[in-house]
Amino acid sequence: MFTGTHDRPQHLIADIGGTNARFALCSGPASVARIAAWPVNHFSSLREAIEHYLDECGRPEIAGAVIGIANPVLGDRIQMTNFNWSFSIEDLRRKLRLDALHVINDFTALALALPHLAENELRRVGGGASAPRTPLGVIGPGTGLGVSALIPTPHGPWLPLAAEGGHVSFAACNDLEQRLWEHARAEFGHVSMERLLSGAGLQFIHRCLSLEQGLQPQALGPADISFLAISDKDPTCRRALDAFCAILGTAASDLAVTLGARGGIYLGGGIIPKLGEYFLTSPFRARFNDKGRFSDYLSAIPVFIIDAAYPGLTGAAAYLERLEHDQITAGTDSARPGHAQRGGAQSRPAAARPDA
């Protein structure tokens, strides 16, 4: 489904996850238009998905692109962690005939979206008032587990962090989680948070709980488990989703104390926003607050569910606005991490510049 039109040349923006690819045209955060989304498994490559989108739009003139992708951006070569797409940033730029192509981590883009979200695009999950000019943390389970943050700077814009916090080591907080850790250790070796806090992680928890009860695990997808849990139609699904939300509470509170994120923790990704009222009474907030000597500190931190339809695109548009501002103030388009430019050297590591 498309929204809006533009006759003048635009930039392409994209939010590429392990399940869906979302595209739009824009010239800034206030002018995101012609939004479209498709499952990534409909296409053999990112280039094919982009070409399909541009065909659907009638082949508008595109000056450049900003792509948020669920993957570390460490140089020219991108190999997605949770899907089989891979590409060279410079090669993709040349084949699409773009003047410039910028690739950033998808949760870096989501973090950049936070200042642009309207009040009705956020749902509060407890806590007090946001402390001004303090870090904001963002975390979200979906196909994987994304993590990022915005750090305030004294006289400039927020500083987004390009992070891979979904791969921190999981630590159990009770006997059930210890058993889950043991099952995961036997299956995966290293047990990262993403092994439990993702769509596949919810399925893993459900499978473990089923086997512990002597039940044959059903072939249920994450959405099926969530539906059966929320509707109280399956007690094993309910236990699995409760455990999932409790573990997310631990991960979110760990992020909060690590960052000093008294401005708030924001929950994104493809799972939590779909849980509705259940999540507000789930074990998440109690576990978030349960930090021993730091329980009062955590209890004061607000948590928000991101309910915006396309926050990743909003963040990509915000990144584009920063690029244009930097060019005006610096008078140049210097080499940038995750960036390829016509007639210029392609730069080296990291998804976002320190001043982005």
Pairing of strands 20-26, 33-39: antiparallel
Q: What is the pLDDT of residue 81?
A: 87
DSSP-assigned states of every residue in 269-324 = SSSGGGSTHHHHTSTHHHHHH--GGGHHHHHTS-EEEE--S-HHHHHHHHHHHHHH
Residue with tokens 């926003």: 273
Task: Classify domain 119-306 at the CATH class level.
Answer: alpha beta
Distance of alpha carbon 340 from alpha carbon 93, whole angstroms: 7
This prediction has a pTM of 0.90
> Does the annotation flag 19 for ligand binding?
yes
Q: Which of 134, 135, 153 is nearest to 354 (CA)?
A: 153
Q: What is the pLDDT of residue 323?
A: 85
Q: What is the pLDDT of residue 11?
A: 95
Per-residue pLDDT of the chain (356 residues; tens, 9 = 90+): 334 444 545 899 999 999 999 999 997 556 889 999 999 999 999 999 999 999 999 999 999 999 999 999 999 999 998 899 999 999 999 999 999 999 999 999 999 999 999 999 999 999 999 999 999 999 999 999 999 999 999 887 899 999 999 999 999 999 999 999 999 999 999 999 999 999 999 999 999 999 999 999 999 999 999 999 999 999 999 999 999 999 999 999 999 999 999 999 999 999 999 999 999 999 999 999 999 999 999 999 999 999 999 999 999 999 998 887 776 444 333 345 577 777 654 433 333 322 33
Q: Where are the domains of the chain?
A: 10-111+310-341, 119-306
> Does the annotation flag 16 for ligand binding?
yes
Residues 234, 239, 244, 246: is their CA dihedral positive or negative? positive
DSSP state of 354: T
Outline where the chain has alpha helix (H): 46-56, 89-96, 106-113, 175-188, 199-212, 222-230, 235-259, 277-280, 284-289, 295-299, 311-330
Distance of alpha carbon 165 from alpha carbon 70, whole angstroms: 12
CATH number of the structural domain 10-111+310-341: 3.30.420.40
Distance of alpha carbon 322 from alpha carbon 102, whole angstroms: 12
Distance of alpha carbon 249 from alpha carbon 10, whole angstroms: 40
Distance of alpha carbon 1 from alpha carbon 301, whole angstroms: 37
Q: How many CB atoms lie within 10 A of CB 150?
A: 25
Would you say 27 and 59 are in contact if contact means Cβ atoms under 8 Å apart?
Answer: no
Q: Which residues pair with 66 in a beta bridge?
A: 13, 102
> Does the annotation flag 290 for ligand binding?
no
* Token pair listed for 236: 């094993």
Q: What is the pLDDT of residue 9?
A: 56
> Does the annotation flag 15 for ligand binding?
yes
